[in-house]
């Protein structure tokens, strides 16, 4: 995923690019407001971090112009804490805002939260998921096997949906905490382990034999389907 940083403070840019690159994102930088729209028109990006106070063209104007042509996620970065600025940014199409000074970890969590929401909105168009004899009805939040319902808690169902969406993919405990409990959850990874344990027991009791949540030692969990 490519993130465009539109920011004139070189120290902030340096910290953000290093942190985001280490997290696996590709980054590019525009330092001047007048260069932001020409760059956006010429190069594809997946996410934008947009400072409000920029030389020549401010972030509000850039955000409005981008929203005329694209739904790319935008987080506005502001040195001001006034509610009016934050509200204006959201009204003209920003997905979120963050106030200076901030930690790069907070920025990363905000990016992940927005991308999870976008992924969920896309996936919500799908009405059901299947894995072997297991069927997940997303609108009614029901899990069934051979037309019999498996009684699951909200978190157990969300874990199962995530696994079913990405069979064979290994999720670390932190991945699962972020995706199901949210980036602002301050519990520990034992929460994931206890939910997985209960979920496995319920699937076994329901007679699900053709798919299984496996432990990948030293990494996390994945679901596998067996013919």
182 and 78 within one domain? no
145 and 113 within one domain? no
Domain limits for position 199: 128-225
Question: What is the rounded distance in angstroms from the CA atom of residue 28 to the CA atom of residue 63?
Answer: 17
Question: Residue 226 has what pLDDT?
Answer: 79
User: In this structure, are residues 39 and 57 in contact, taking their beta carbons and an 8 Å threshold?
Assistant: no
115 and 17 within one domain? yes
103 and 15 within one domain? yes
Question: What is the rounded distance in angstroms from the CA atom of residue 185 to the CA atom of residue 1?
Answer: 25
Question: Residue 117 has what pLDDT?
Answer: 77
180 and 146 within one domain? yes
pLDDT tens, per residue, the chain with 227 residues:
999 999 999 999 999 999 999 999 999 999 999 999 999 999 999 999 999 999 999 999 999 999 988 989 999 998 766 666 667 777 888 888 888 888 898 899 889 888 887 776 665 556 788 888 999 988 888 999 988 999 999 889 999 999 998 888 999 988 888 888 875 555 566 788 999 999 999 999 999 989 999 999 988 999 998 76
**What's 20-42 look like in SS3?**
HHHCCCEEEEECCHHHHHHHHHH
Q: Which two tokens stand for residue 212?
A: 């299984």
Question: What is the rounded distance in angstroms from the CA atom of residue 159 to the CA atom of residue 62?
Answer: 38
52 and 70 within one domain? yes
pTM of the model: 0.56
Split into its structural domains, the chain has a count of 2
Return the CATH number at 53: 3.40.50.2300
134 and 112 within one domain? no
Question: Residue 188 has what pLDDT?
Answer: 67
142 and 174 within one domain? yes
Q: Which residues pair with 166 in a beta bridge?
A: none
217 and 140 within one domain? yes
Question: Residue 36 has what pLDDT?
Answer: 96
92 and 185 within one domain? no
Return the CATH number at 210: 1.10.10.10
Question: What is the rounded distance in angstroms from the CA atom of residue 9 to the CA atom of residue 15?
Answer: 10
Question: Residue 25 has what pLDDT?
Answer: 94
24 and 117 within one domain? yes
Question: Residue 80 has what pLDDT?
Answer: 67
């Amino acid at each position: 995923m490519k993130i465009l940083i539109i920011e004139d403070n070189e120290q902030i840019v340096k910290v953000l690019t290093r942190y985001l690159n280490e997290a696996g994102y590709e980054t590019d930088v525009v330092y001047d407001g007048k260069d932001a729209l020409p760059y956006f028109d010429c190069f594809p990006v997946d996410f934008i971090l947009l400072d409000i106070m920029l030389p020549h063209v401010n972030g509000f104007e850039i955000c409005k112009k981008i929203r005329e042509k694209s739904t790319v996620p935008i987080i506005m970065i502001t040195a001001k804490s006034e509610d009016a600025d934050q509200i204006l940014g959201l009204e003209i199409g920003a997905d979120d805002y963050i106030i200076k000074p901030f930690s790069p970890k907070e920025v990363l969590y905000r990016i992940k939260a927005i991308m999870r929401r976008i992924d969920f909105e896309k996936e919500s168009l799908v009405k059901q998921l299947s894995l072997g004899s297991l069927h997940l009805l997303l609108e009614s939040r029901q899990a069934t096997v051979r037309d019999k319902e498996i009684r699951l808690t909200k978190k157990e169902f969300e874990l199962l949906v995530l696994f079913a969406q990405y069979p064979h993919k290994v999720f670390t405990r932190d991945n699962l905490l972020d995706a199901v409990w949210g980036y602002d959850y301050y519990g520990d990874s034992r929460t994931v382990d206890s939910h997985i344990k209960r979920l496995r027991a319920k699937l076994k009791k329901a007679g699900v034999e053709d798919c299984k949540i496996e432990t990948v030692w030293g990494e996390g969990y994945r679901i596998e389907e067996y013919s």
